[in-house]
Amino acid sequence: MLQKALGCLFVFGIAPVGIGGLWTKGMGQKREKILNLYLAGFLSELAVFQLIAVPVMVKEVYGMNLLVYLTTAVFAVLAVAGFIWTFLRERGLRKSTLPGSGSEALNQGQRTAVQNPERLLFWLLFLASVGYQMYMAFAYASFDGDDAYYVVQSVLADQTGVLNRIRPYTGLSTDLDIRHALATLPLWIAYVARMTGIHATIVAHTLLPLIFIPLTYYVFVQIGRKLFSDGSVKLPIFLTLVSIMQIWGNISIYTNETFFLTRTWQGKSVLANLILLVELWLMLELCAREKDGVRQKEMGSQLSYWLLLAVNHIAAAMMTSMGAFLTAMLFGITALVVVIRYRSWSILWKTALCCIPNVIYLVLLLIL
């Protein structure tokens, strides 16, 4: 029990919070900054794992122990660096911030909620809907045929230490299937299982939905804030409608909603419901900054968002072999629209730099 608690605390608490501290500069206003940093830290955790897992998997057949040791050491170093950086930065900001400014903003937000009970009601409906989905994902097990491959790969890596060289359907040895192997989410599930002592199947079916579902809805919140003003009742109405569509969207086995609530732990689901949403949110943030350059200092630096886009592209490659291609295509088309709309030619070279991880991944897919 102690190992489970400490393992979950490290993988889903200390590591993403600490690594997120490295993103302190330019990640939104104070009230949303903490959750933005957690999201950035979690995506960075996935990206770092991908960068470690691929070379270990290619070089080592029985590489699970090495992968666990290297990953944990790197996570710990980055988390400590993030905590130190956050402490030093916040101490400097506290000295230069006028007293009372934060409490005034908080009181303003409380007055807005009290003055608009309709808005409060929709927020409560939205939160209740999300809580219901998390409860159903935790208490009721769903099954999908693809688990026979992906979840079994996680179980094999955890229990045998072999990285993607055992055929899940038969248990026989095989060569490295690079098309599936470069998407290392099953190995990350095995890593979580090793760290927590929880069976890999339980990690996938029970634990991960409690992480991915609220994170996905938080990204919806951020997208809604870009589309509607914070004080508007439209934002909670939008979120409530999204949550209802997720619950009632199981009209086909191919819909995003079906993947989101019944195949939450699979890479295809994480790509479609979290990674691509993060891509959309970051592009909306960057478009807002391009549109209103006068407020650049007030809204924060663009650099953090550009770097997070590159990190998100690495995480996309971790989910499925199509992830790198889809994110590059989506981002590239959007960048061309922004260049034409705002006559900002610097977007082109920034886009090219952000897509370097995608190009490297696709090259590896061709040559290995």
Say what the alpha-carbon torsion angle 53, 22, 328, 235 is, to the nearest 10 degrees: 120
- Using pLDDT thresholds of 50, 70 and 90, give the confidence band for residue 299: very low
Taking residues 60-86, what's their average pLDDT?
93
Is the pLDDT at 275 greater than 60? The verdict is yes
Contact 205, 13 (CB under 8 A): no
User: Nearest-CA neighbor of 200 among 135, 152, 134?
Assistant: 152
**pTM of the entire structure?**
0.89
Bigger pLDDT: 35 or 66?
66
Angle (CA) 56-322-248 rounded to 5° is 115
- Buried/exposed code over 280-315 (b: 16+ C-beta within 10 A; e: otherwise): bbbbbbbbebbeeeeeeeebbeeebbbbbbbbbbbb
Q: Report which of 199, 187, 203, 197 is spatially closest to residue 66, judged by C-alpha positions.
A: 187
- Which element (helix H / strand E) includes 228? none
**Of 70 and 4, which is predicted with more confidence?**
70
pLDDT tens per residue, range 87-117: 887 777 666 655 554 444 445 554 555 557 8
Of the candidate ranges 11-25, 111-125, 161-175, the one whose mean pLDDT is the lowest: 111-125
Q: Which two tokens stand for residue 157?
A: 């890596």
> Who's near 23: CB < 8 A, 6+ residues apart?
36, 37, 40, 41, 44, 304, 307, 308
- Assigned token pair, 343: 């006559």
Assess whether pLDDT exceeds 50 at residue 193.
Answer: yes
Q: How confident is the model at residue 3 (pLDDT cuts 50, 70, 90)?
A: confident
Least confident of 90-94, 210-214, 237-241: 90-94
- Report the alpha-carbon angle 107-35-308, nearest 5: 130
Confidence of residue 301 (pLDDT cuts 50, 70, 90): low
Q: What is the mean pLDDT of residues 83-90?
A: 84
Whole-number Å distance between alpha carbons of 63 and 181: 13
Phi, psi of 301 (to 5 degrees): -75, 150
Confidence (pLDDT) at 97: 58
- For 118, 129, 231, the CA distances from 123, given in Å and listed in that order, are 9, 10, 12
Asked if the model's pLDDT at residue 212 lies above 80, the reply is: yes
**Mean pLDDT score of the chain, rounded to an integer?**
86
pLDDT for position 347: 83
What pLDDT does 106 receive? 43
| Whole-number Å distance between alpha carbons of 63 and 73 | 15
How crowded is residue 318: how many other Cβ atoms within 10 Å of its Cβ?
Answer: 27
